[in-house]
């Protein structure tokens, strides 16, 4: 299966969120999986939590011993990357570990920033 086919398959399982919709979501956990250098150069979305992609499933398994605080299986988790590709695959994986409302941000951080929505200086420490 090609990468494009994997992406299409993952997106069929998601109700993706646009930057405009993100602004109105309440009680959602926003997870930034971008590398530190991208967050440092471009900024971060206020309220987002940076989580290294390599530990994402462990830190967001709602029943896991290594999970971060502040969410449960009913929480809407919105994953974002640079442009909304890797985040679709990551959100699909989070659904598989017990977060049925996991999704991603259409167009990623760059679409959010281009829409003129609030950005804070980046490079916060990521959860590892």
pLDDT of residue 10: 93
* Residue burial 8-19, b: 16+ Cβ < 10 Å; e: rest: eebbeebebbeb
Give the DSSP per-residue string, 13-46.
Answer: T---B-HHHHTT--SPEEEE-S-HHHHHHH-B-T
The mean pLDDT value for 78-82 works out to: 98
pLDDT of residue 122: 84
- Is pLDDT at 123 greater than 90 in this prediction? no
pLDDT of residue 17: 97
- Is pLDDT at 114 greater than 90 in this prediction? yes
Confidence of residue 57 (pLDDT cuts 50, 70, 90): very high
Confidence of residue 63 (pLDDT cuts 50, 70, 90): very high
pLDDT of residue 1: 86
């Amino acid at each position: 299966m090609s990468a494009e086919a994997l992406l299409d398959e993952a997106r069929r399982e998601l109700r993706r969120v646009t930057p405009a919709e993100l602004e109105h979501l309440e009680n959602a956990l926003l997870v930034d999986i971008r590398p530190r250098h991208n967050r440092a150069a471009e900024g971060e979305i206020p309220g987002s939590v940076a989580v290294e992609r390599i530990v994402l499933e462990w830190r967001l398994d709602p029943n896991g011993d290594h999970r971060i605080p502040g969410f449960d299986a009913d929480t809407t988790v919105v994953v974002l990357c640079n442009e909304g590709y890797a985040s679709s695959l990551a959100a699909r994986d989070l659904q598989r570990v017990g977060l049925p409302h996991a999704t991603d941000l259409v167009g990623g951080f760059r679409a959010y920033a281009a829409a003129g929505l609030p950005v804070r200086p980046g490079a916060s420490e990521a959860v590892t």
